[in-house]
Structure 1
Amino acid sequence: MYAKLNTLPALLALLALGSAAHADDILQTRVDATIRPVMAEHDIAGMAVAITHNGQAHYFNYGVARLDDPQPVSSDTLFEIGSLSKPLTATLAALAQATGKLTLTDSAGQHWPELQGSQLEHASLLNLGTYTAGGLPLQFPDNVTDPASMLDYYRQWQPEYAAGTHRRYSNPSIGLLGMLAAKSMGKPFPTLMEGTLFPALGMSHSYIQVPTAQLPRYAFGYSKDNQPLRVTPGMLDAEAYGVKTTARDMLRFVQANLNPAGLNKDLQRAIAMTHTGYYRVGEMTQGLGWERYPYPISLERLQAGNSPAMALESQPATRLAPPESEPSDTLFNKTGSTGGFGAYAVFVPSQNLGLVMLANKNYPNAARIKAAHAILNALDKNAAQY
């Protein structure tokens, strides 16, 4: 039965006939068959998976939020999403432009006068948001522990490349964009995220600092040897990797990206800015927070775009002039990790299809991509050949 029904034609036929319950059962079987082996292979305590297809949300939950108190994972369990926070930071920065507080072509020095005289003074906010300022590293050095040492680091930093010629994935880069966007809007970054952006997106249980009342829903992450972990505070952690959220809220964010028509006009413009392509890096197009690929796409190409080399090494980048609006067939994605959590989000606007996977273990990106690719293929006939 399963072998015959676990196919796209069978699923689409049931949907067309209105057999929603049967279609949901098939989708549950497909997601179970994909997610459970990943959890077993990587010893993952809990996962929350959320899918949106043609505007319909589906939720699938597995395992436990914490090993010492086996509360089942739900769609409202709070997970750390690490660098999957970056598209949200980018959306806030784009909203600052949409509301006239800044433009992405502004220099960093315009919004932080203390950078004047440094190599970063003339780097654009777009360079910061696309990791093309000249080679800012993945992380701050260990001696950067407070605002004074952070400013000193930025003032002393020397680029490896001319701005706009190479992409080097960097928390200090997009973190600085988030900080400067907040400065332009006149409020602290956490206040703007929790008080402005999250509510506007319908993300009612998303936080930079988890309130005491919400701590029972906050999962523990786990190390390779299953020691409990939560994210360690650091400079610009909120801006670069600080969001704690649920599968339900993250799916709302994905749905807002798929169909922003119900949002206010400024936020619609902001989301369009994050989808715009600014630099070509191999087969990937760097948006603002999001990373773009032509769709359909093979598993191997998508894994290569999310490989350690893309995260850890500088890559030649070609500026797109003018910036490239969203093509008709495009896949957007972003991974995110902290020491104890692993997250992934992917969506395809032309198919009105999106997927969120949140786990309380930092497992390899290649495994996340493989699982997501299999689920997408089960839902989209155009991807099934890839």
Structure 2
Amino acid sequence: MRSIIRAATALLSVVGLLCTLSIAGPAAGRPDALAVVVDEAFEPLLSRYDIPGLAVAVTVDGRQHHFTYGVVSRESGASVTPETIFEIGSLSKTFTATAATYAQALGRISLNEHPGTYMPELAGSAIDRATLLNLGTYTAGGLPLQFPDDVTDQTQMQTYFQRWTPDAAPGEQRRYSNPSIGLLGHLTALAMNSSFTGLVEGQLFPELGLTRSYIEVPESQMGGYAWGYDADNRPTRVSPGVLDAEAYGVKSTAADMLRFVEANIAPAGLEAPMRDAVEGTHVGYFKVADMVQGLGWERYPFPVGVDQLLAGNSTDMALQSNPAVPLTGQPTSGPALFNKTGSTNGFGAYAAFVPEERIGIVMLANKNFPVAARITAAHAVLQKLSVEA
């Protein structure tokens, strides 16, 4: 009997160790190959860019792996976990896009319609020449990255769009823009008879199985909400702004974001209309240099070199107008990598996945460090996974 108890105890210890290795940080001394690759790619970034905390989540053929580093707050010293809440910045745009394709799947909007259809105050204005699809792909005609400083409420937002003057005809150029996709989210919520926050928190997140994702973090969850750190290492969180929820307002965890990535890798497992909504965000509408712009997600043929990914996520791509070549809504042809970056003043995020390879990665940090470093690290991990697939 004692030998049986000793054997059972040993077995439980091994099981516990294996569970620890699957989610712990480098201090656990994980021997597996994936952990070595993730540690080599991401752990040096903490000291190089003075990042307090980092969560990396990887999915391989439906198997989840979590790796965590550092702290949620320098003041508290609490360790990052897969359930730590981070600001995901412009990675939020993938949820805004999904909300729009969800509304379209329900027959509540058409991406080929114009803003004035859902917001009559904009009818006949220059922005009304664009379609909702143009808004979602940043091709409305030159909307800027941010609203002017004097646009601080909904009334001023409406006036801004009524008076806006385009630089080009819709569909001719891509200029990355928070007001552009922000207006798409706003119009979608109007068509759904909801606030945008109510639509995303009340319908999208539950249907996607995301249990710790928020636009407005409830008081009961504030203890798990990491503090971000600005360039001067001061603790900070995102400030409110016009159409902020639609453009950069989601807060989520590595565990939830990995579930979202897995839903994008295998949308067939979702119930309609959410299945149609997720698939709708994978359609490519405009070719911009070597990148194909979809709704929220941006795609590249896979395998893809790191230099190509860096070019598609460069400062010039984010801040300048670039010629856009219409693709008439082409689905993917051959293996493709989808990706999106996100930043707020105190946080940095990145997500990428390859449906054909059934691999994906999420990285969340409580410091806005260079996009190039995020992409280079994630690319190294995905390359390793692809070789082994």
Letter in 1 for 2:135: L
DSSP 3-state at the match of 2:286: strand
Aligned-partner Cα distance in 1 for 2:137–2:257: 22
How far does the alpha carbon of each residue in 1:108-164 deviate from its partner, in whole angstroms, 9 at most, with x for none? 111100002310122100000000000000000000001111111111100001110
DSSP 3-state at the match of 1:265: coil
Report the more deviating stretch, 124-133 or 218-227: 218-227
Aligned-partner Cα distance in 2 for 1:24–1:108: 54
Alignment partner of 1:121 is 2:131: no
Conservation of the 8 A alpha-carbon contact between 1:222 and 1:228: yes
Conservation of the 8 A alpha-carbon contact between 1:107 and 1:125: yes
Give 1 or 2 for the bigger CA radius of gyration.
2
Query: Deviation of residue 24 (structure 1)?
Result: 6.7
How far does the alpha carbon of each residue in 1:56-114 deviate from its partner, in whole angstroms, 9 at most, with x for none? 00000000000100000000000000000001110000000000001100101111000
Query: Deviation of residue 240 (structure 1)?
Result: 0.5
Letter in 2 for 1:303: L
Conservation of the 8 A alpha-carbon contact between 1:109 and 1:122: no
Letter in 1 for 2:50: D
Normalising by structure 1, report the TM-score.
0.92
Normalising by structure 2, report the TM-score.
0.91
Aligned-partner Cα distance in 2 for 1:211–1:328: 42
Aligned ranges for residues 1-386 of structure 1 at < 5 Å?
A: 25-321=32-328, 323-381=329-387
Report the more deviating stretch, 328-337 or 258-267: 258-267
Conservation of the 8 A alpha-carbon contact between 2:214 and 2:250: yes
Conservation of the 8 A alpha-carbon contact between 1:81 and 1:243: yes
How far does the alpha carbon of each residue in 1:223-242 deviate from its partner, in whole angstroms, 9 at most, with x for none? 12210110010000000000
Letter in 1 for 2:367: K
Letter in 2 for 1:357: M
DSSP 3-state at the match of 1:103: coil
> Structure 1 vs Structure 2: percent identity of aligned residues?
55
Aligned-partner Cα distance in 2 for 1:130–1:24: 43
Q: CA RMSD in A?
A: 1.4
DSSP 3-state at the match of 2:129: coil
Conservation of the 8 A alpha-carbon contact between 1:296 and 1:382: no
Query: Deviation of residue 287 (structure 1)?
Result: 0.6
Report the more deviating stretch, 371-380 or 93-102: 371-380
Classify 1:24/1:202 alpha carbon distance in 2 versus 1 (closer, same or farther; 3 Å).
farther
Letter in 2 for 1:380: S
Conservation of the 8 A alpha-carbon contact between 2:122 and 2:128: yes
How far does the alpha carbon of each residue in 1:169-208 deviate from its partner, in whole angstroms, 9 at most, with x for none? 0000000000001111111110111110001011000000
Letter in 2 for 1:373: H
Aligned-partner Cα distance in 2 for 1:219–1:201: 23
Query: Deviation of residue 34 (structure 1)?
Result: 1.3
Query: Deviation of residue 328 (structure 1)?
Result: 2.4
Aligned-partner Cα distance in 2 for 1:292–1:324: 12
The number of equivalent residue pairs is: 363
Corresponding residue for 1:16?
A: none
Classify 1:24/1:108 alpha carbon distance in 2 versus 1 (closer, same or farther; 3 Å).
farther
- Give the 4+ runs in structure 1 shifted more than 4 A: 20-24
